[in-house]
Structure 1
Amino acid sequence: MTGKDEYYNRAKQEGYRSRSAYKLKQLDREAGLFGQGNTVVDLGAAPGGWLQVAVERVGDEGTVLGVDLQRVKDVEGAETIRGDMTDEEVRADLVERVGEADVVISDMAPNMTGEYGLDHARSVHLARMAYETALELLAPGGDLAVKVFEGPDLADLREEMEGEFEYVRAVHPDASRDSSSELYLVAKGRLTAPVREGDEVEVEIVDEGSEGDGIAKVEGYTLFVPGATTGDAVTVRVTDVKPRYGFAETVE
């Protein structure tokens, strides 16, 4: 028995529908994906192993919804939608039903052809689809974990994701097979701010924070500006962007 076969047997013994359940457990342990009461959307949810793990992690107060073209046998504590994630109507229905999610996860993979370049390109296409769906679903600060195969198209996708999240990291779960080229891009902290690091904007300081920093608003988004006082009209350069607030410095 190889080390990777162990996960198949453990899944059978512990009641999980797939060995990939352990990949999600490891992703959660590495990156802290789930919290009690979270709303989780699982894209490409069949056969349901990831749904089982998500339900365990979010508890009775959480909400777990899975989507797959295949029928998914009922998972206690989760709901499922049967539909093709490449169909825009299915994606629109998902967004309408969920509203906002805390976590989007995707273990989607293409039907394998054996031609590595083609399989890689198709995996990136599915990963980008999951990423674009997550942008519509995630609340500020929300997280995304998506499977993709290693290859030349991966860098562009990761760069796009880095522009929309606080940070992105690649994780290789131990439960992945030795022969697999799969990895998971885990994107933490969905950014919905109207500004990005390095932007220069003109603002009015409308208040002061508890630490004495000036507070400016840009389309409702809060920027803390050290050294500025209420009533100042200044040009600032954004230095750090968080999901719900950011920091800036005055431009001389």
Structure 2
Amino acid sequence: MGGKDDYYNRSKQQGYRSRSSYKLKQLDEDADLLGHGDTVVDLGAAPGGWLQVAAEAVGETGTVVGVDLQRIEDLDEHDVETIRGDMTEERTRHYLREAVGEGGADVVVSDMAPNMTGEYSLDHARSVHLARQAFDVALELLEPGGDFVVKVFQGEDLDALRADVSEEFEYVKTNSPPASRDASSEVYLVAKGLLTAPVEIGDRIEVTVEERGEEGDGIAYVEGYSIFVPDVEPGETVEVVVDDVKPRFGFAERIDPDAESDSSHD
């Protein structure tokens, strides 16, 4: 019996609407995407297999929202909100933002694929176009540190897409879950940790240290973003250089003006 039949039969036995449910399960197992209480948005969610997996993972305290051009039959056993519409239209995005709420989404996933023409280069280009649309929605909806998963067909434009996604997240991994059909050219970009920091590595800025952290470092704030600076006291205003950036906080080293002055005379 082939892999296709295995996953198809398993989905029927376990009550999932599509064999692709196991792709999300496997992606989650590999990258730890879905957590209890999370808010998850599924783009191109019909018929609802990924919504089922997400709802099971986030539990009663979580929120799951699916959007698709096609109608998605209600998932009676899960508290899932569905929106019928085009995610690229402002009207649909408005409903999405309302459903997600001010806190933003923890995870945005997309299993969308274009209508296949049989011409590989065209199908690849269309899949990249869909992936970029999903990427735009993810940047709008995700909270700092949020994760993004998107399907795309392999081809010449994949590297450029991955590079663009990498600029916005801590790291990006290309994953081919076992549930994907052997003959399929699909892969998933799994992006972890949306970066929304107002600073970048190498930035030189002046900050005022406002408090001391648990490890003894000083903490300064830039547009509400925490920057840890060692060897400074609360109340000090110092010039620093940013040397590491995380989704919710960063690290910087104090610049010693005396040392810089000495080096300039060498």
What interval of TM-score do these two structures reach, taking the shorter chain for normalisation?
A: over 0.9
Residue in structure 1 matched with residue 201 of structure 2 by the alignment: 197
* Residue in structure 1 matching 2:144, options 140, 159, 162: 140
Residue in structure 2 matched with residue 209 of structure 1 by the alignment: 213
Structure 1's consecutive aligned runs of 4 or more residues displaced over 3 angstroms after TM superposition are none
- TM-superposed CA distance for 1:162, in Å, is 1.6
| DSSP-derived class of the 1:85 partner | coil
2:118 & 2:241 partners in 1: Cα distance? 49
How far does the alpha carbon of each residue in 1:82-123 deviate from its partner, in whole angstroms, 9 at most, with x for none?
A: 001232321232123312111111101111111111111111
- TM-superposed CA distance for 1:71, in Å, is 0.6
Q: Which stretch of structure 1 is more off in the superposition, 120-129 or 225-234? A: 225-234
Larger-Rg structure:
2
* Residue in structure 1 matching 2:123, options 119, 125, 147: 119
How far does the alpha carbon of each residue in 1:182-216 deviate from its partner, in whole angstroms, 9 at most, with x for none?
A: 11111111222111222222212222222221211
Task: Supply the RMSD in Å over aligned alpha carbons.
Answer: 1.4
Residue in structure 1 matched with residue 93 of structure 2 by the alignment: 91
Q: Which stretch of structure 1 is more off in the superposition, 222-231 or 110-119? A: 222-231
1:170 & 1:198 partners in 2: Cα distance? 28
Q: Which stretch of structure 1 is more off in the superposition, 158-167 or 226-235? A: 226-235
How far does the alpha carbon of each residue in 1:105-151 deviate from its partner, in whole angstroms, 9 at most, with x for none?
A: 11011111111111111111111111111111111221111111111
Residue in structure 2 matched with residue 50 of structure 1 by the alignment: 50
1:94 & 1:224 partners in 2: Cα distance? 35
Percent identity among equivalent residues?
67
How far does the alpha carbon of each residue in 1:141-196 deviate from its partner, in whole angstroms, 9 at most, with x for none?
A: 21111111111211222122222211111111000001111111111112221112
For the pair 1:153 / 2:165, whether they are aligned, the reply is no
Give the TM-score normalised by structure 2.
0.90
2:82 & 2:211 partners in 1: Cα distance? 46
- TM-superposed CA distance for 1:234, in Å, is 2.4
| DSSP-derived class of the 1:192 partner | coil
Give the TM-score normalised by structure 1.
0.95
1:121 & 1:250 partners in 2: Cα distance? 47
Residue in structure 2 matched with residue 69 of structure 1 by the alignment: 69
Query: Unpaired runs of 5+ in structure 2?
Result: 257-266
Letter in 1 for 2:97: V
2:59 & 2:46 partners in 1: Cα distance? 21
| DSSP-derived class of the 1:246 partner | strand
Query: Unpaired runs of 5+ in structure 1?
Result: none
Aligned length: 252
Do 2:46 and 2:70's aligned partners in 1 also have CA atoms closer than 8 Å? Answer: yes
1:119 & 1:72 partners in 2: Cα distance? 25
Residue in structure 2 matched with residue 81 of structure 1 by the alignment: 83
1:12 & 1:207 partners in 2: Cα distance? 56
Residue in structure 2 matched with residue 181 of structure 1 by the alignment: 185
